[in-house]
């Protein structure tokens, strides 16, 4: 597929490289250069923020019904362009084309949900102690919001943010991932073609630390929304706190999976676990990450898990029947190697995989480790790649404590046929999202759906995306006291 010219979008204008610095965008399946991405200058960043602030009053005062019409039209446009966007995503991110299609097809649903939810941004009337006074608690958009997104889901992650920001009545300056620029360009293009007013949305790319620090410090920006690693999120939260900016932080996790001994079809669960673990080359913050299997079913689970892992078809994302593509960039190869080497040096058993595949591209062989010591790197830091540690347990209380030991808490999974244990896992697993007997949050076969909140606790962040909770991060509460007479 032919790649597209890469551009910034600022104040209604598509801007090419011109005299700007550029970054090479690499095809992770071939390691070949796809295109040159223009880097936003400091003047570009300031121009975007100033334009977003200038456009904010008119967009704020546009009724929720009119804003909803634009979001609906954007969804219609994205439906008509879904195949082209999916192919661009596979080209620059590497995931199998069918997985890219599923991600893009999800976008109109995201837009429709937020469009309709914006019509239900309600305030309330508070009974007054003085009958000549009316007391109102109102919700109002906070102003221009800077949205920072990552490369692993380059369509859904930006859309979660942009849809909520725009639906709430805020304007948006999006700084998206340099690895996957064409995908997010096409999202912005759809908004523009749907009639979004000039200045309401902007798209920047550039050196992440410099660009984010400048955006957060600019007085025009009133809120921050970030998806990415806990380390970077902590730095951005510190910057936002210094400038007293509102924040929504969706950060990393290290999702535990607890498999009890009362599971009926253990091989089926193992095969399902493989498909969910290695989806998107295991580059997902809610992918199952640490497996704890009861000793009574451990051998049966491990045998089926390893067989399914070794049977995975790993290839270029455009190859028919492919189940796992490359890692998104070369840095992930080094991270996988460190995880595996550290675990083996500490006494873990390497059952399969454990090395870069001998071919062009950033391909890593799906890896299974067993008997992994709890002080190993892979048991303490999210691998964010196709390495699966699987340990056995006998003491349920001990395994709950181990699942909760880490400072992160985004997603957690438990499988049991006991209602009592299901209730206990739901209450006691320390995560913002807990799934019992499923790897889905929301509809079947979906990692998340727009009607349910998505977010973590502890070092996995704060605030929610999607659900009715997802718009709250972009709204101020205003108390209005009206008296009958002046």
Q: Is the dihedral of CA 5, 22, 238, 150 positive or negative?
A: positive
Q: What is the pLDDT of residue 2?
A: 86
In the block, tokens 């493989």 appear at 274
Q: What is the pLDDT of residue 485?
A: 81
Q: What is the pLDDT of residue 214?
A: 96
Tell me, yes or no, if 466 is annotated catalytic: no
Per-residue pLDDT of 32-44, as tens digits, reads 999 999 999 999 9
Same domain, 72 and 163: yes
Whether residue 472 lies inside any domain: the answer is yes
In the block, tokens 């796992």 appear at 324
Same domain, 217 and 303: no
Element (H, E) at 149: none
Same domain, 274 and 178: no
Same domain, 446 and 475: no
Q: What is the pLDDT of residue 446?
A: 55
Which pTM does this prediction carry? 0.96
Q: How many CB atoms lie within 10 A of CB 32?
A: 11
Q: Which of 74, 80, 288 is nearest to 195 (CA)?
A: 74
Give me the torsion for CA of 150, 152, 158, 164, rounded to 10°.
-110
Whether residue 457 lies inside any domain: the answer is no
The CATH number of the domain where 316 resides is what? Answer: 3.40.309.10
Same domain, 409 and 309: yes
Alpha-carbon radius of gyration of the chain: 23
Tens of pLDDT along the chain (486 residues) come to 689 999 999 999 999 998 899 999 999 999 999 999 999 999 999 999 999 999 999 999 999 999 999 999 999 999 999 999 999 999 999 999 999 999 999 999 999 999 999 999 999 999 999 999 999 999 999 999 999 999 999 999 999 999 999 999 999 999 999 999 999 999 999 999 999 999 999 999 999 999 999 999 999 999 999 999 999 999 999 999 999 999 999 999 999 999 999 999 999 999 999 999 999 999 999 999 999 999 999 999 999 999 999 999 999 999 999 999 999 999 999 999 999 999 999 999 999 999 999 999 999 999 999 999 999 999 999 999 999 999 999 999 999 999 999 999 999 999 999 999 999 999 999 999 999 999 988 655 555 789 999 999 999 999 999 999 999 999 999 999 999 887
Whether residue 2 lies inside any domain: the answer is no
The rounded distance, in Å, linking the Cα atoms of 444 and 448 is 9
CA atoms in the 13 A half-sphere facing the CB of 209: 4
Look up residue 355 and give its two tokens: 């090395």
Which range marks the domain in which residue 43 is found?
8-251+463-483
Element (H, E) at 428: helix 419-428
DSSP assignment of 355-376: SB-SSSSS-B--EEEES--TTS
Q: SS3 helix, strand, coil % of the chain, rounded to 5?
A: 40, 20, 40
Whether residue 3 lies inside any domain: the answer is no
- Total domain count, the chain: 2
Burial 394-405 (b: 16+ CB within 10 A, else e): eebeebbebbee
Same domain, 303 and 354: yes
Whether residue 63 lies inside any domain: the answer is yes
The rounded distance, in Å, linking the Cα atoms of 129 and 83 is 60
Same domain, 425 and 305: yes
Whether residue 416 lies inside any domain: the answer is yes
The rounded distance, in Å, linking the Cα atoms of 459 and 126 is 36
C-beta separation of 178 from 205 below 8 A? yes
Q: Which of 226, 229, 281 is nearest to 254 (CA)?
A: 229
Same domain, 268 and 177: no
Tell me, yes or no, if 250 is annotated catalytic: yes
Look up residue 100 and give its two tokens: 């890219």
Same domain, 356 and 468: no
| Choice among 170, 172, 285, 339 that is catalytic | 285
Element (H, E) at 282: none
Whether residue 455 lies inside any domain: the answer is no
* CA 411 to chain centroid: 12
Same domain, 343 and 427: yes
Residues with Cβ within 8 Å of residue 293, at least 6 apart in sequence: 259, 301, 302, 390, 391, 392, 393
C-beta separation of 147 from 173 below 8 A? yes
The rounded distance, in Å, linking the Cα atoms of 83 and 100 is 9
Same domain, 96 and 22: yes
> What residues does 259 pair with on adjacent strands?
293, 415
Same domain, 263 and 238: no
Whether residue 326 lies inside any domain: the answer is yes
Which long-range contacts link 205-209 to residues 24+ away (Cβ below 8 Å)? 205/6, 205/8, 205/23, 205/37, 205/38, 205/39, 205/40, 205/175, 205/176, 205/178, 205/181, 206/39, 206/40, 206/44, 206/45, 206/175, 206/178, 207/39, 208/148, 208/175, 208/178, 208/232, 209/235
The CATH number of the domain where 96 resides is what? Answer: 3.40.605.10
Q: What is the pLDDT of residue 441?
A: 83
């Amino acid at each position: 597929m032919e790649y597209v010219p890469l551009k910034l979008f600022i104040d209604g204008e598509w801007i090419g490289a011109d005299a700007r610095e550029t970054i090479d965008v690499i095809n992770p399946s071939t390691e070949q250069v796809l295109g040159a991405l223009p880097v936003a200058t400091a003047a570009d960043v300031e121009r975007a923020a100033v334009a977003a602030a200038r456009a904010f009053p008119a967009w704020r005062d546009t009724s929720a019904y009119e804003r909803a019409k634009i979001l609906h039209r954007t969804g219609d446009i994205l439906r008509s362009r879904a195949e082209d966007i999916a192919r661009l995503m596979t080209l620059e991110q590497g995931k199998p084309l069918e997985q890219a299609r599923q991600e893009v097809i999800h976008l109109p649903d995201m837009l429709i949900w937020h469009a309709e939810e914006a019509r239900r941004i309600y305030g309330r009337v508070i009974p007054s102690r003085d009958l000549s006074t009316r007391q109102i608690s109102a919700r109002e958009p906070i102003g221009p919001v800077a949205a920072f997104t990552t490369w692993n889901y380059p369509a859904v992650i930006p859309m979660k943010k942009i849809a909520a920001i725009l639906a709430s009545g805020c304007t948006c300056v999006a700084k998206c991932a340099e690895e996957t620029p064409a995908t997010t360009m096409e999202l912005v293009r759809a908004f523009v073609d749907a009639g979004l007013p000039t200045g309401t949305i902007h798209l920047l790319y550039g050196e992440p630390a410099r660009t984010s620090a400048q955006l957060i410090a600019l007085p025009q920006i009133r809120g921050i929304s970030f998806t990415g690693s806990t380390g970077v999120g902590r730095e951005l939260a510190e910057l936002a706190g210094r400038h007293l900016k509102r924040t929504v932080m969706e950060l990393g996790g290290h999702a535990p999976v607890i498999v009890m001994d009362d599971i009926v079809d253990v091989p089926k669960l193992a095969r399902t676990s493989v498909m969910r673990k290695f989806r998107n080359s295991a580059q997902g913050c809610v992918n199952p990450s640490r497996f704890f299997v009861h000793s009574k079913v451990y051998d049966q689970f491990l045998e089926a898990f390893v067989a399914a892992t070794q049977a995975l078809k790993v290839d270029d994302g455009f190859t028919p029947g492919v189940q796992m593509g490359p890692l998104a960039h070369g840095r992930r190869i080094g991270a996988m190697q460190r995880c595996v080497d550290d675990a083996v040096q500490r006494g873990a058993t390497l059952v399969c995989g454990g090395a870069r595949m001998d071919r062009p591209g950033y391909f890593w062989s799906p890896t299974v480790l067993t008997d992994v010591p709890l002080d190993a790197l892979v048991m303490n830091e999210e691998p964010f790649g196709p390495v699966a540690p699987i340990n056995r347990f006998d003491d349920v209380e001990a395994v709950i404590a181990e699942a909760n030991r880490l400072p992160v808490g985004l997603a957690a999974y438990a499988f049991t046929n006991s209602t009592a244990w299901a209730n206990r896992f739901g209450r006691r697993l320390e995560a913002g999202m807990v799934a019992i007997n499923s790897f889905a949050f929301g509809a079947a076969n979906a990692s998340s759906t727009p009607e349910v909140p998505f977010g973590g606790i502890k070092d996995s962040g704060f605030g929610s995306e999607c659900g009715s909770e997802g718009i709250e991060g972009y709204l101020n509460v205003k108390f209005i006291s009206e008296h009958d007479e002046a």
